[in-house]
Amino acid sequence: MDSVGWFPRNRFSSLTCLRLTDSRPLNKDVLPSLMLFLTHCPGLQDLFVRLITPESPAAFRGARAVALPHLRRLSIGLSSFPTVREFLSYLEVPTDLALRVHLMPDQKLPHLDVFARMGVLKKCTQMGMTFSNTLIITVVGAMCGVRLESAALAHPSAACRSWICSTRDADSYQWEILALHVDELWITALNGHACHPALLEEALALFPSLSSIHIHGNWSPMDIQTILGKVPNHRGTYSFRCPNLTALDLWQQESINL
C-alpha cells in the first residue's frame, strides 16, 4: 500500500470501521495520503493502523488536520513513537477515546503528557502494568484511556522501572500536571517473569492515595509486607504507605516459601 490515493475521493459518511495494515516499508507520500483519505471518513468509530512509515522530518509534509468526532477506538502502530506522536497531533478526536499504541521492539515507553494533551486521561482512575514477553502499560477509565504495548523486551520489569523513574525525574515533566486521579493499581507478572520489589515501591510512590491494589504473579509476601509497611516521612516520623487503602488483592502464581 504505497499510497491510499486509490481510494475513491467521495466522502465515506457511512464508514464506521477502518483497518489499514502493510508489512512493507512505505514511501514518503503515504502519511499525507492517509490523512487526506481520513478527511473523507467523518463517521469513523474504529480505526486500526499498522504501517512501516518513513522516518523523515518531511514525512507529514502536506498533511492536513482530520476531525473524527465519532471515533471511539484508535489502535496505531507506526515505525517510531515520534511518528505516532506527529500522527496524533493531526487528529481532532473525542476525549472519551480508547487509544492503543503498539511500539516497535526495544522502543522506550513514551511519557503520558502526549495523551494528557489529547484529553483522554481526564476520566482515568486505574493504572495497570503487565509483564510477559510484552510490557503493557494501561491508564484507563470506564470508556476511555491509553494502552501502551512494547514487544520483545528481554527485561520488561526493568524497562517499566526505567519508565517510572524517567517520567518522575524529568525536569520538564511532572506527574502532577497530568491531573491523574488514579486510585486503583494493577501489577501483573506472567509467564514466569518476576518483578523487583523496588518497582512496586516506586509505583506506589507515584500514587499515595491508592484505595485498591492488585498484585498478581511471582511476588514475595515478605517484600510486599515490607513495602506496604511503615515508611519515613518529611517530618522524621513514620506513616503507613497508602493510608487510604481499602482493598488488597494478592495472587501468587507459584508456591510460596516462607
pLDDT digits (tens, 9 = 90+) for 164-184: 877 666 544 555 556 678 899
Number of domain units in the chain: 2
Residue 111 covered by a domain: no
Residues with Cβ within 8 Å of residue 18, at least 6 apart in sequence: 41, 44, 46, 47, 48
Q: What value does the mean pLDDT of the chain take?
A: 79
Residues in the chain: 258
Q: Print the domain residue range for 75.
A: 1-94
Residue 18 and residue 64 in one domain: yes
Q: Give the residue from 94, 109, 139 where a domain finishes.
A: 94
Residue 87 and residue 127 in one domain: no
Angle, alpha carbons 173-209-112 (nearest 5°): 25
Q: Residue 210 in contact with residue 200, Cβ under 8 Å? A: no
Name the nearest CA neighbour of 62 among 87, 38, 39, 29.
Answer: 29
**In the structure grid, which three cell numbers stand for residue 146, read together?**
491509553
| pLDDT > 60? residue 16 | yes
pLDDT band at 211 (very low <50, low <70, confident <90, very high): very high
Residue 82 and residue 205 in one domain: no
Beta strand pairing call for 73-77 and 98-103: parallel
Residue 103 covered by a domain: no
Residue 45 covered by a domain: yes
pLDDT digits (tens, 9 = 90+) for 36-64: 888 888 899 999 998 887 776 677 777 88
What is the CB-side half-sphere exposure of residue 144 using CA atoms within 13 A? Answer: 16
Percentage above 90 pLDDT, the chain:
20
Q: Give the residue from 44, 59, 94 where a domain finishes.
A: 94
